[in-house]
Amino acid sequence: MEKGYFITGTDTNVGKTWATIALMRYFKSQGKSVAGMKPVASGCLIQGGRLKNEDALLIQANASLPIDYDLINPYAYELPVSPHIAGVNNPVKLGQLAAGFETLKTLADIIVVEGAGGWYAPLNERETISDLAKLLALPVIMVVAIRLGCINHARLTYQAVAQSGVNCVGWIAVCTEPELLGGDQNIQTIKSTVDAPLLGVLPYREVADFDFFAEQLKM
């Protein structure tokens, strides 16, 4: 089994965090110790006198052991905009993120790293999420929100990941709309046109049921 996985999405707000938590619980059910990382987060709120991100807090809460927040989310930005804009006064340094990841690797069997936005989302003025994934040298799991346009988004993202030289080990479908016409057909079309296995389908839920989601995964 791999030491960890990098979670990328076909866009922002596609269900990456729900998929990340589902994966963490899946690996815990397999008897593995698990930690998560959300290296960069925008739209953070002040909690306890410091900026924190709700998704990163959820990742922290689902780890197998207590981990300091700064290790899970080294770059927490207040503005809900792209990291290269939100972090203009404190730009992302990939070396710092890699060092934090190396520390996490010593603490747990599996590390699940959630990216920000899509594959080419800019982290600073020069580097993108794809550069971070390549630096961490993790296999990639692609999260696809099943909605209008998802087939095109999935194929483009998969192509971009493959061209980056990173191994895409599979994809997770997240049903983000309660009544989407042709949702099952969209999933089947992506399955037949993307050369990576479907690892699971997370059905639509108004409120996340992560243990149920974990049961839908097959790694």
**164 assigned binding-site residue:** no
The answer to whether 58 and 25 have CB atoms below 8 angstroms apart is no
Spatial separation of the C-alpha atoms in residues 96 and 130, rounded to whole Å: 16
- Is 116 annotated among the ligand-binding residues? yes
Q: Which of 3, 28, 32, 38 is catalytic?
A: 38
Alpha-carbon span 9 to 66, nearest angstrom = 27
User: Cα(64)–Cα(163) distance, rounded to whole angstroms?
Assistant: 34
The answer to whether 17 is annotated as binding is yes
Tokens encoding 8? 């990328």
38 carries an active-site annotation? yes
CB 114 within 8 A of CB 55: yes
Q: Minimal CA–CA distance to 67: which of 129, 112, 22, 26?
A: 112
Question: Is residue 143 within 8 Å of residue 19, measured between CB atoms?
Answer: yes
Place of tokens 């493959």: 162
Is 54 among the annotated ligand-binding positions? no
Positive or negative: CA dihedral 101, 102, 103, 108: positive
61 among annotated binding-site residues: no
Annotated binding residue 177: no
Instruction: Report whether 174 belongs to an annotated binding site.
Output: yes
Annotated binding site for Mg(2+): 17, 55, 114
Annotated binding site for substrate: 42
Q: Which amino acids are annotated catalytic?
A: 38
Annotated binding site: 17, 42, 55, 114-117, 174-175
